[in-house]
Amino acid sequence: MKCFLYAAFLCLCLLFSLEKSSAFEGRKIAENHHSHTIEVSSLLPSTGCKSSTKVLSSNDKKASLEVVHKYGPCSKLNQDKTSDAPTHTEILLQDQSRVKSIHSRLSNSKASGGNDVKVIEATTVPAKDGSVVGAGNYIVTVGLGTPQKQLSLIFDTGSDVTWTQCQPCARSCYKQKEQIFDPSQSTSYTNISCSSSICSSLTSATGNTPGCASSTCVYGIQYGDSSFSVGFFGTEKLTLTPTDAFNSIYFGCGQNNQGLFGGSAGLLGLGRDKLSVVSQTAQKYNKIFSYCLPSSSSSTGFLTFGGSASKNSKFTPLSTISAGPSFYGLDFTGISVGGTKLAISASVFSTAGALIDSGTVISRLPPAAYSALRASFRKLMSKYPLTSALSILDTCYDFSNYSTISVPKIGFFFSSGIEVDIDSTGILYASSISQVCLAFAGNSDATDVFIFGNVQQKTLEVFYDGSAGKVGFAPGGCS
């Protein structure tokens, strides 16, 4: 009997240890399901360019352009390695300028009336308004004029007016890599007159009342980092691909330009105002465009006008921000870390409102949402040594002694009920292996708008359908 009881006891012990081990295995798998395993060496970009495996096809329904980071090895602006790439601290400070100016633009609202543009002799435009060029910029190459000249432009969903530097640079031009556009050498260039209704509509697109010089409309746009462009407003032929060209696209021909444009020739405005390229090409593309921002500055992505969304896209409605109707507003409802939705009141998100922006680098969260995210992230990362902050990023780690790390997944929830997982390349921002930071920051005020920045958009196909009023997200968009 004793033997039997002892054998039964052994069986129970064995069964218990098996159950315990299988439960533990289950937990290990579950943990892996809610975290990313990242090779530390992959946190820094490589020195060579790795082109996307996605074939950029253009047809009668869509036009696709290659997207590169302006300071990476894939950018022709950076081929001779002489372009003055900013430091990480400078990038984050410039990013802070952009965010501040978006916040002040929304809090001051355009209802307070525009500033007047002093004619081209003016050295600066009043700094009330502000899209900011910032530093997290991605560029595409388009053709302008007849015969067309290839120009690299920063594309920006937070700006409306498309402009490029133009000869004769009546006041000043910053240094750009390509030849400066000369409208006198193009047979398709035309000036817009001051008295036209299109000239008046610059007020809503730039926040500044247009000026007039020799009966020609003068635009002025100042960005929050003190960059600006002032010049003649005109129309020109814009060529996106060999098959897709548009005559008479409204654009700014900059005669007085200064700022942090990184050698690019100007800016491609993708906002919601009627003067943006998205609105001006709506007859063909129906206000549809999409992009994928590459996983690092050493790889490529795309910007496509027209076309259809990936089959696995998740959609949420676009909302309109009354103080800034040209921004793409979104209704955020929550955040998850490591597979657990954080206990943040829905009012935290609705009080702030939210927008998605291709030009802001680091996502800015309402203060209560950021502190909950940071606390949860730090708890799940507690085995790694913390190190000093990097500018606005306050949760940084030293991974010098690790070859791989495990990082909790982060997801964003939207009003349509969808959860969008941030790619593993969109969670951390590395200045070096010994300083790798959580790539999110908090706003200082609960009423400041939540901004979904470009680091968090990496490798997602972000599909904007302006006519249907929705935006879609699909993973693995660049490959």
Quick check: bond before 168 cis, omega within 30? yes
Q: Are 304 and 313 in contact (CB under 8 A)?
A: no
pLDDT at 15 over 90: no
Mean local confidence (pLDDT), 167-190: 95
Q: What is the reported pLDDT for 81?
A: 56
Q: Where are the domains of the chain?
A: 63-80+88-103+133-304, 310-474
- 260 or 360: which leads in pLDDT: 360
**Architecture of the domain defined by 63-80+88-103+133-304:** Beta Barrel (2.40)
Can 63-80+88-103+133-304 and 310-474 be said to share one CATH topology? Answer: yes
- pLDDT of 447: 96
465 catalytic, yes or no? Answer: no
**Residue 323, number of CB atoms within 10 A of its CB:** 16
Chain CA centroid to CA 200, Å = 29
Q: What CATH topology corresponds to 310-474?
A: Cathepsin D, subunit A; domain 1 (2.40.70)
**Catalytic pick among 129, 225, 244, 357:** 357
- Per DSSP, the residues of 97-143 read HHHHHHHHHHHH-GGG-PEEPPPTT-S---TT------S--EEEEEE
Report the pLDDT value the prediction gives residue 225, as an integer from 0 to 100. Answer: 67
Residue 244 has pLDDT above 70, yes or no: yes
Instruction: Note the pLDDT tens digit of each residue in 376-409.
Output: 999 999 999 999 999 999 999 999 999 999 999 9
And the tokens for 454? 């470009």
Model pTM score: 0.88
Separation between Cα atoms, residue 119 and residue 293, nearest integer Å: 37
Per-residue pLDDT of 76-125, as tens digits, reads 887 665 456 788 998 898 889 889 989 988 887 634 444 665 443 332 22
Please indicate whether residue 84 is annotated as part of the active site: no
Catalytic residue among 95, 156, 244, 465: 156
Best-predicted range by mean pLDDT among 201-205, 296-300, 400-404?
A: 400-404
Computed over every residue of the chain, the mean pLDDT equals 87
What is the mean pLDDT of the segment spanning 65-73? 89
Q: By C-alpha distance, which of 352, 390, 297, 359 is closest to 97?
A: 359
pLDDT band of 58, cuts 50, 70, 90: confident
Is the pLDDT assigned to residue 375 strictly greater than 90? yes
